[in-house]
């Protein structure tokens, strides 16, 4: 009997050890990105993994949203690729003609801003992202020219920053002078800017400096890893601090004004980290990689995330609300009325959408 009790206890201990080891391995894998290059695999461990915390709840808390269409505009819209808002207007970046279209929220007025497409000062080849500063100036990212082009509120060119081999992917204006830019590739010929993912662009001096290097630890990876593609995401300016929402990683990352990580919080949905396919022709994510978010917005004291994983689970258009200071989940709404859309901008009372047919809609909504 004594012998059998000892065996049983040893078996229980062994099972417990195996269980916790498996959990440990599972947690370890959750914080690793696999880079596949040719026939080899390389493992990249998230350098900030010790800062990652989970939400207290795993289930959504639903609130009702009342929404109604204010207007829909198709005339003059050709290929809108990015949409943003301020308090009075919606701005749409049109890749087909290179203009910014301003839609007044209180009227039917549509104003065309900029110089259009071309190779001259202030003109664009393929504008892809943009933002507006407190003075009404626009910074436009042209991925074909690999350039940041600043226009004043009337669309007149002010400055151009020309990347060499690096490519800008997204940006967020900090104030009338500074903007944070995400890049892919190496910043050549600039001694003050290393190959960090986030660079601070000073529009007064037309210079770039390293803001934060999220990819610390890349020295163990091959030169053509293409790791940056896994970190493409949305940047939100919170009075100089940044909230970073990777589109393929379920993290909310708050970065201080000094470029230090304040916290990393998981979103309400769990998702595995992406797998990167790397080659001399470029990098891509595997078809099994999850998309976690589509965009994000700061609304009052909340951060609203247009959730891809939420849409996959529940249909419609799921918007999750988090506390912008802590990243804690608060509640969700689902708005199927928006229909098929490719872009969305959201304020306290107005939602603007780029529709699948190329038109733009302005909606008013209330969370009940």
DSSP 3-state of 301: coil
- Which helix (DSSP H) or strand (DSSP E) does residue 13 occupy? helix 2-30
Strand intervals (E) in 86-146: 89-94, 100-104, 110-113, 127-132, 138-142
Q: Which residue has the higher pLDDT, 226 or 277?
A: 277
- 45, part of any domain: yes
pLDDT of 1 above 60 = no
pLDDT of 3 above 50 = no
Residue 86 corresponds to which tokens in the numbers above? 């301020």
Inter-residue contact 174 to 241 (CB < 8 Å):
no
Q: Residue range 116-142: average pLDDT?
A: 95
The predicted pLDDT at position 21 comes to 43
* d(C-alpha 292, C-alpha 310), whole Å: 8
- Please name which of 264, 214, 260 lies closest in space to residue 241, comparing C-alpha atoms: 260
- 339, part of any domain: yes
- Which helix (DSSP H) or strand (DSSP E) does residue 30 occupy? helix 2-30
* C-alpha torsion angle, residues 298, 303, 308, 313 (rounded to 10): -140
- 17, part of any domain: no
- 231, part of any domain: yes
pLDDT of 256 above 60 = yes
- 76, part of any domain: yes
Over residues 286-315, the pLDDT tens digits come to 998 999 999 999 999 999 999 999 999 999
- 29, part of any domain: no
Contacts for 110 with CB less than 8 Å, ≥ 6 apart: 73, 75, 76, 101, 102, 103, 104
- 14, part of any domain: no
Q: Within 10 Å of residue 48's Cβ, how many Cβ atoms?
A: 14
Tell me what percent of the chain is helix, strand and coil, each rounded to the nearest 5.
15, 45, 40
Model's pTM, two decimal places? Answer: 0.89
Question: Which pLDDT band, with edges at 50, 70 and 90, does 197 fall under?
Answer: confident
Which residues span the domain enclosing 48?
36-367
Q: Residue range 264-285: average pLDDT?
A: 93
The predicted pLDDT at position 14 comes to 45
Inter-residue contact 152 to 186 (CB < 8 Å):
no
- Residue 358, sorted as left (phi over 0), alpha (psi -120 to 50) or beta, turns out to be left
* d(C-alpha 156, C-alpha 151), whole Å: 5
Among 3-7, 59-63, 133-137, name the one with the lowest average pLDDT.
Answer: 3-7
- Residue 340 belongs to domain with CATH number: 2.120.10.30
Residue by residue, DSSP assigns 327-368 as --EEEEEE-GGG-SEEEEEE-SSEEEEEETTS-EEEEEEEE-
- 5, part of any domain: no
The dihedral sign for the CA sequence 283, 289, 294, 300: negative
- Please name which of 326, 334, 292, 302 lies closest in space to residue 56, comparing C-alpha atoms: 326
Domain total in the chain: 1
- Please name which of 323, 340, 352 lies closest in space to residue 84, comparing C-alpha atoms: 352
Contacts for 98 with CB less than 8 Å, ≥ 6 apart: 114, 115, 116, 117, 118, 123, 124, 127
* d(C-alpha 86, C-alpha 77), whole Å: 20
Over residues 163-177, the pLDDT tens digits come to 887 888 899 999 999
């Amino acid at each position: 009997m004594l012998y059998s009790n000892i065996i049983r206890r040893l078996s229980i201990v062994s099972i417990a050890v195996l269980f916790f080891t498996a959990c440990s391995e599972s947690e370890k894998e959750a914080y690793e990105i696999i880079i596949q290059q040719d026939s080899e695999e390389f493992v990249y461990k998230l350098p900030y993994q010790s800062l990652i915390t989970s939400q207290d709840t795993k289930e959504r808390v639903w609130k009702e949203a009342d929404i109604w269409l204010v207007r829909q505009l198709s005339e003059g819209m050709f290929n809108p690729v990015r949409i943003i808002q301020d308090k009075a207007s919606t701005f749409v970046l049109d890749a087909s003609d290179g203009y910014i279209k301003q839609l007044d929220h209180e009227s039917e007025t549509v104003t065309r801003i900029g110089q259009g497409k071309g190779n001259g000062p202030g003109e664009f080849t393929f504008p892809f992202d943009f933002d507006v500063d407190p003075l009404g100036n626009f910074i436009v990212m042209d991925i074909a020219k690999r350039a940041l082009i600043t226009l004043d509120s009337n669309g007149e060119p002010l400055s151009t920053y020309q990347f060499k081999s690096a490519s800008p992917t997204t940006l967020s204006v900090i104030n009338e002078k500074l903007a944070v830019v995400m890049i892919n590739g190496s910043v050549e010929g600039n001694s003050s800017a290393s190959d960090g993912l986030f660079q601070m662009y000073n529009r007064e001096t037309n210079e770039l400096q390293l803001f934060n290097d999220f990819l610390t630890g890349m020295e163990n990876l091959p030169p053509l890893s293409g790791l940056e593609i896994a970190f493409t995401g949305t940047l939100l300016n919170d009075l100089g601090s940044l909230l970073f929402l990777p589109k393929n990683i379920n993290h909310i990352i708050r970065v201080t004004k000094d470029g230090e990580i304040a916290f990393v919080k998981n979103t309400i949905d769990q998702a595995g980290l992406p797998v990167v396919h790397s080659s001399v022709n470029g990098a891509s994510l595997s078809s099994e990689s999850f998309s976690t978010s589509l965009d994000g917005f700061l609304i009052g004291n909340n951060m609203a995330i247009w959730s891809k994983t939420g849409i996959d689970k529940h249909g419609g258009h799921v918007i999750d609300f988090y506390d912008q200071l802590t990243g804690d989940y608060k509640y969700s709404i689902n708005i199927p009325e928006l229909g098929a859309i490719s872009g969305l901008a959201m304020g306290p009372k107005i939602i603007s959408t780029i529709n699948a047919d190329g038109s733009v809609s302005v909606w008013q909504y209330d969370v009940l």
